[in-house]
Every structure is written in structure tokens, then in C-alpha cells.
Chains A and B, each alone.
Chain A
């Protein structure tokens, strides 16, 4: 195949994820975003009227809202919305097996190691390539338990009762400019429903890649865990390098019903020209747990504040976050913990590493209102600065009212001590190896929270980023 030959010659080093394939898109909504764009997307997808209206309302809100540069970085002004394509697909429905998938799409995911993982460990894989799910396969065991795991389009078409009940309820369209954008042009992402009492043993996983120049990804994920159920969902993504900027503006909504538990794991490795602006939030009902386990490496700018609204008594919210910012990168991450019932607890542990001229920002919101009793929050944010121009900022926004709560906030900023590097080097490690080992030691406690193959991948990613940071 012609594509195959040219592809091989243009494939760059495996480990950085910086390789591309020629585009082959059957549906292309053109540049820029207008009401026509929204109509086009609805027509192609066969969306019902209520979604068409939902999208159009969202478009207006997106257009009316200003960029939040009064508190966020001015780099946002470099996003040129007219220069992106908002919908691209090769017009093919999700596949059942790898043999049916187009060659170049398969290659991309082969390189990312999906088939092996699928065989070994995971219950099902949804893979997204340029907006549409290219591959979907739910193993018998998971669907037998009544678990629904499809892409968002299939979710809203085939399961409207469950879908409509929660869609847009955890994150309202007008929450921020980018949740509004996503609500207007969303495509892809997962819809998952876990029936009461079902504990899904194997993590469900999704992959997506941006592969077209000047293209944004707007996946929308909605996970509903019914009473007493448990699920872990994993997402990891890489994107190839381009000269012009790329936009990723996802929305993830989680709903944990009474006694349910949702863990959402992300290892993100966007290339350094991507704007990654994500809104993620979970509602935890009585005795439920929502836990975000997040690792952000790469991208030009990431803004992501996983949140939990603890709506029922004894609900629990957790955010475990690792961020690494290299030169030309800004990781602006944190958490939002909103207590809305008695005896709820929230825990935030954030570790950031700034390398070269990289900048890591922590923004943490903790809100406990006066009428509640017995709420607890624990926040720990530790920053590691590697080079003289590395930067970190912390903006905690803690609002606790009432006198029957316990709140704890601890923050540290440190460097890897020269003596520590000397000790490691005296054992034969190069300066780069010594620094990598020290940095991995810094995040080790948090890395252990990730499922094993992810903690391996994220350590490898950190080593890659640390290369060239010293000497």
C-alpha cells in the first residue's frame, strides 16, 4: 500500500509519539466554528433534535463568554478559534476486531501497544482517532454483567433515558468557556453505565489521538455508576508534533450513586503544541467515592482542575495529581472539592516538577459551607524545581465556614540537593540518571496509585522529559 511506504519513511523515534500519517478524512467540517458547523456535525451523526438544540445553545454561550485571562494565563489569547477544524472522521462506524480497522489507524494504535494490552488485562477498549471511535470491543464478561460501554454518540442514541438524565448535569454548559465549546461540538468520548452492585474487575480504557494539523478534539465522557457499583476507567493519550497549535477541550462527567466508587485514571502525554483545556467533575452521592488519578506531562498549556461535589453524607472525593512542566510548557492544574453534605471528606495530593523554563501552577478550591458538620479536607501540594529558571506558583482557595470541620493544607517547594546528586553520581550514575532517579523518587508515592502498566509508562515519560535537563 502506498500509504504504508511513505508512512514508514516519515515515522520518527518511537518513544516521543511524534509521528504522523497522511490525512484521509471523509467528513470534514472545514475551518472555524459557526451554527453551520454545529448543523453539519448533527447531520453527519444523525443527532436527535434535543442534542441539536443543546449544541446550538452551547455555541451561543461559547461565543458570548470572554477568555478567562483575568485569572488564567494570557497564552490563551494565542488560541485562534477560526483556524481549527472542529469535526473530522473517516466516516466509518466503530469496528469490532482489529482486522477490520484501516491500516494507518491500526499502525498508530499498534505503536501505542493497544492490542497486547487488550488481550492481557483490559475488559474493553474504545480507541478514538480524529473524533470517531475507530475501534470498539466489549468483552463478553463485561456486557454480560449489564455494563454499557460505548462511545458518546452511541450512548445518546441508544440509551437516551440514562444519558439524558445526567448529561450536562454534572458540568453545566455555562460552567466555563471551554465546557461551552465542548457542549457545542463534542464528538467521541465514552458513555459508561454500571448497573447496581456490579463491580467491574478490569479497568475500562480509551485512547485517542490528534492527527490532523489544526484540529481540535472535543470528546465527551459520561460515566454513571449505579448504587454499590465499582469501576475504574483509564485514559491515556499522545499527539504528534505540529507547527501550528492544536486544541483539546474535553468534558468528563462522573456520577457515583449511593455507595458506588469511580476511579478515573489519566496519563496524558500531549506534544508541546497542544492546548489541553479540560473540565472534569464528579458527583458523589451518599457513601460514594470519586477518585481522580491524573498525570500531566507535555502540552503547551494544560488547564485541568478535577473536581468532586460531595452531595451525599459520608461521600468522599480524591484527587491524586502529578504534573511535569518542561520548557515552553505550562501545567496549570489542581482540584475543586465542594462539600455539600455532612461528614464528607476530600483529599488532594499534588506533586509537580518544573524543568528548564517550565511552569507548574497549582490551583486548589476547597469549599465547606457553614451549615455542614463534620467535614474534612486534607491538601498536600509539593513542587520540585530542577533548574534555575523553573517556576512554580500555588493559589489555594480555601473557604471553610462553621466550626465542626477539619482542614489541613501543606505545601512545599524544593530542589534536588546537590549533595544527593553527588552521592548518586559517585555510584556511577550520570548526572541525568541521578536527576531522573531523584525525580522518580519524588513522585514515587503517587506513582504507586496508578495501575501498574501506567506507572511504568509515566516513569518512562518522566525520564524522557528529564533528558537534557541537566548539563
Chain B
């Protein structure tokens, strides 16, 4: 990890340099801004009411009036995709932040304390990793109840082992570093050393992980709603829109599946590229 602390202006120059030399990251960052904008202001951007049905106009291919066509109830697919951005991003953001917060603290303490706690948590993580994770998420949503909050919890839960392992390993290599000793010598309690000294130092490395995980979380959540767990039908959500359109694909109504699928793909692509770019900025040595 970058042990050299860059000054503010040095960091700014470095970011500008990376963005210039890597235009893809710039495009991804712009894409992320657009996504956030759509998520925040979707209700004022949509050309049609995303849940209002208009049966005479059902299953219309894309046209000037309906950019992405209409679905089996005549609802405007483009409006539904815009509306769904908020829900999909919200699920992914909350799931990833939840599992980051819990995982970093647990992993941090394991790496710092070691011993019995570390062994038991390690074993728990091994058990979690022995599950096919998507199946575990399915079972969790089914067990906790078929609601959106539980998609968040399930997605957070299956991300947890990665954060625990990551934080544990990163903290473990630093626990005997000089500046940690210094903090202890200054009278910091162990709790404060982990939370205020070690974890902030690990944060840059974890930021990359977070960005890469966001894409995975979105795919997971969409997969869960595709098989009928979590989000319920009239709600616009990308996974469920694909699931509803699946029935019409064998009769050639491609736009019901293709546009929500494209939205999913572009969003995941955007976060993955951003993660790669972030890695270049924060950790020049891991560049591929």
C-alpha cells in the first residue's frame, strides 16, 4: 500500500495525471455522476408515469414516443429504467456499506488481537466461503422474508467474508509498525488504536474493494429479484423487468429484456472501471 503520504497538492496532481493518462477512468467517473443524478432526480426526469398501464399500447417496439418501447401492460420501459436506478443503486450502496462497516471492524480486531478470536472468526469465514454464495443469499432472503431490506442484508452478508479477510490481512501486517507502537506509547487504548489508527490507514486499499464490490452487489440483487425474491412486481427494478420480459423473448420482443439488461451492464461496467481507476490513483504498484 502507498506508505508514502502524498501532500494535498501532490495528490491533486497525481489524480489529474492518472485521469489524463487514463481517459477510461474519466468516462467512468462521469458515468457514475450521471447515474447518481438519475437516481436522485428520476421522478422529475421520466417522460411517463412508470407504473401507469396503457393496455392498447402494450408491447410496442422502440419509437420516438417510447424510446425503449412499452411492456406487456403498455408501461413505458425507458421511464421504468430511470425510476429503477434509485432502487438498484440504493440496494447496492447500502449492502456494500453495511458489509464494509461490519467486516472492517471484525477483520480489524481479528488482525490486531489474533489468538482465539481470530481462529473462531476464521473458521466462521471458512464456513461462509464453503457455501455457493448466491444460493446462500437466496436462502437468506427466503428465511428473513421477501422484502427489499432483506435483499440488502443478504447481499451484505455474502460480501462479509471478503471484507473480513481483507481487513484482517491488512491490519495484521501493520500491527507492529512503528507508528502503531507510537500510538500505543502515547497511551491510546487498543480500541482506539484499531478504530482510529489502523482502520483509517487500511481505508484506501478497501476503497478499491468497495468500488469493485458495488458492481457485484448490483448483479446479485438483480439476480435475486429475477428469480422472484425481494422486489415485488409493480415496482420498477432492473432484475424484475428482465424477468417479466423473459416470457416474450421467444416471440421476438427483445426490447423488454435488452434495455433493462443494458442498464444493468452499463452500471456494473461503470463501477468496475471506476474501481480500476481508483486502484491506479491510490496504489500505483497494483496497476495491471
Query: Are A and B genuine complex partners?
Result: no
Task: Give residues in B with beta carbon < 8 Å to A.
Answer: none
Task: Give residues in A with beta carbon < 8 Å to B.
Answer: none
